[in-house]
Amino acid sequence: MAIFIALQTPTVTLPVKSNKDCAGLTAKLFAEFKRYGSDEADEKIAALDAIIHDEAAKIFSTDSEEIKAEKKLLQKRNSQAIRDFIKGEIVSLQKIPLLRKDDDTGKVTPFEVSDTRNAKDNTELWGEASNCLDFLLDMLLASTPWSSSFITALYSVLTNMNLGAAAEVKNY
């Protein structure tokens, strides 16, 4: 048996709304994040900030031509470090909106993964059910409309503040 203080369970589920895509469309899903006490949350925030600020320094600094190729490789590794950090903080996803395109007809149909914890094996997409969460997070975190939304949601969990509209990226 485990006892927790109210509002301090080991995980918390938040809605994650994508930013608008170029057509002005958004989507929403639910992500279950790990939750921490204040000291450990501060350490997680510092670690994520260090990765993000390292990325920003690489993007905004200017270098000679011979360093640019190496710099792009470092940026790619750092972007992957951000994705890996976020993936390590997510326990499950629910109500994930997806689209399936039929190879023969070209018809696109929407479908939804209701909960990654209850996923079934799917040889076309993630293979074994245990790969579902990782497969979907790779897709979502590589998507421009979704990636910053996950960062905002993670900061909301770690700071215990609803960053919501204050941190939402407005793209028109």
- Domain-by-domain residue ranges, the chain? 11-113+120-164
Residue 171's pLDDT band (cuts 50, 70, 90): very low
Average pLDDT, stretch 22-33? 94
DSSP class of 49? H
Residue 3: predicted pLDDT:
79
Contact between 104 and 74 under an 8 Å Cβ cutoff? The reply is: no
Contact between 27 and 17 under an 8 Å Cβ cutoff? The reply is: yes
Question: CB neighbours (10 Å) of residue 162?
Answer: 10
Q: Which residue has the tokens 């992957």?
A: 80
Structure tokens given for 21: 């895509």
Specify which residues 5 forms β-bridges with.
Answer: none
**Residues 66-92: pLDDT tens digits?**
666 666 666 666 688 889 999 999 999
8: which residues sit within 8 A by CB, 6+ positions away? 35, 37
Residue 169's pLDDT band (cuts 50, 70, 90): very low
Residue 70: predicted pLDDT:
64
Question: CB neighbours (10 Å) of residue 93?
Answer: 23
Lowest mean pLDDT among 7-21, 66-80, 132-146: 66-80
Structure tokens given for 13: 């589920």
CA pair distance 15, 30, nearest whole angstrom: 4
